[in-house]
Amino acid sequence: MVDNDHDDVDTRALAEAVESILLGGDRTLSPNDLADRTGIDADYSRRLWRSMGFPITDDDAITLTDRDLAAMQRVKHALDLDVVSPATMTALARQTGQVFSQLAESEGDELFRVALAAVDDGPGGKDALVQLLADDLLPLIESIHAYVWRRQLAAYVARTVARYERSGTADVDVTVGFADISGFTSLSRHATASDLAGLLELFESVATDAVGAHDGRVVKLIGDAVLFTTAEPAEGIAIAADLLGQWPSDWPPVRAGLATGTVLRRVGDVFGPTVNIASRLTSLSRPNEIRVDERTATALAGRHRFVEQDPQDVRGYDSLRSWTLSGAPEY
């Protein structure tokens, strides 16, 4: 995590200092202490910690802080008021743990690179680095998390209300889109790590910009691929066309696939046949091509021209029908 060029920084002492900042103080409590002081059943408390990704292997080990105690007291208060059930609380903890585990992993390296670079510009060594983290970098990241979460939740509420107004239910069809870099696997065998990192950074930037510009939602970025959803097929085709149109011609080309139908939503992800078909259509697409299923093509027939392709057998689907977008779409 920490560059070896920074020999003057005691990484173990640095980790301990940063941990104290992040955890709100030193570890002074055991899981049993927490259970006694909150009144939460020890087995349920252990299950909560594990659902967040933190294994409890010794109930008497001093591993927790006063901030952990305060968090568990809030959980106990919510359970006592029946604001949430124990099962719902566990599900929330699991979902949050999964999302923030990925965030912490990706942000950690960048955080330390920025911090160590700042230390190089001035005196102070570890103490200066810890101060920078405590005063500036960590509060900035924490505030961004809270801000983006609130905005995303507000956007979810708006989308849900709009679906209710259109159909009287929030459980309606969506358009699912995949896009990926054609030939990436072959390219990755020969390109340098630096070149691949630059390519993936560019893809993430162009993809998220296209999705955001047309009121879509990025479900996840998977290396050289993006999975997104939109409320309407027109928005989905606009995202795919924008992504392909904005992609630099001197880089390996991009392709996309779209399908419309119901999805199962879980932990921010989407599942089901609609997602599978969008993925298969992407794999059938040629470079710089957008391929769609019948429902998407039918919904957009009056606005765009589609060319039906010969049915093809793909994993899980025999004789899958598909249509390719002809010409630049109007939106």
Which tens digits make up the pLDDT trace of 180-231?
999 888 788 888 888 888 899 999 999 999 999 998 999 998 889 999 999 8
Residues 17 and 149 in one domain: yes
* Residue from 249, 240, 232 nearest 296 by CA: 232
Domain end call among 99, 129, 159: 159
What is the mean predicted confidence (pLDDT) over 294-304?
A: 93
Percent of the chain, pLDDT > 90? 47
* 144 or 159, which is more confident: 144
Backbone angles phi, psi at 5, to 5 degrees: -70, -15
Is a pLDDT exceeding 70 seen at residue 325?
A: yes
- DSSP string of 134-159, one letter each residue: IIIIHHHHHHHHHHHHHHHHHHHHHH
d(Cα 323, Cα 305) in Å, to the nearest integer?
9
Q: Are residues 278 and 146 in the same domain?
A: no
- Write the CB contacts of 314 (distance below 8 Å, at least 6 apart in sequence): 280, 283, 284, 320
For the record, the structure tokens of 48 come out as 């909560």
| 181, 215: one domain | yes
- What is the distance between the alpha carbons of residues 18 and 213, in angstroms, rounded to a whole number? 38
- Residue 177 reports pLDDT greater than 90: yes
Whether residue 128 is contained in a domain is answered as yes
pLDDT of residue 147: 94
Q: Nearest CA to 320 among 271, 272, 285?
A: 285
Question: According to the per-residue pLDDT averaged within each range, which of 46-50, 184-188, 319-323 is highest?
Answer: 319-323
Lowest mean pLDDT among 37-41, 172-176, 251-255, 267-271: 267-271
Distance of alpha carbon 181 from alpha carbon 224, whole angstroms: 6
| Domain limits for position 155 | 11-159
Average pLDDT over all residues of the chain: 86
Amino acid 58: pLDDT: 85
Are residues 96 and 212 located together in one domain of the fold? no
**Residue 166 maps to a domain:** no
- Provide the number of structural domains found in the chain: 2
Opening angle at CA 321, ends 316 and 325, nearest 5: 125
pLDDT in tens, 116-126: 666 555 556 66
Q: In the predicted model, is pLDDT for residue 247 greater than 60?
A: yes
Contact present, 34 and 68 (Cβ < 8 Å): yes
If asked whether residues 15 and 146 sit together in one domain, one would say yes
Please report, as a single letter, which amino acid is at residue 11.
Answer: T
Handedness of CA 135, 137, 141, 144 (dihedral sign): positive
**pTM of the predicted model as reported, rounded to 2 decimal places:** 0.68
> What is the structure's pLDDT at 80?
93
- Of 48-57, 219-228, 318-327, give the lowest mean pLDDT range: 48-57
Q: Are residues 221 and 306 in the same domain?
A: yes
- pLDDT of 108 reads 78
Least Cα distance to 242 among 222, 226, 220 occurs for: 226
pLDDT of residue 215: 86
- Average pLDDT estimate for 274-300: 96
Residues 155, 177 within the same domain: no
**Is position 82 within any domain?**
yes
Q: What is the pLDDT of residues 58-100, one digit of tens each?
A: 888 998 999 999 999 999 999 999 988 999 898 888 888 878 8
Kindly state whether residues 138 and 178 are assigned to the same domain. Answer: no
SS3 (DSSP) at 303: coil
CA gap 241, 244 in Å, rounded: 5
Say yes or no to pLDDT of 7 above 80: no
Mean pLDDT calculated for residue range 302-307: 92
SS (HEC) of 46-80: HHHHHHCCCCCCCCCCCCECHHHHHHHHHHHHHHH
Q: Is the pLDDT of residue 293 over 80?
A: yes
Q: What share of the chain is helix, strand, coil (3-state, %, to 5)?
A: 55, 15, 30
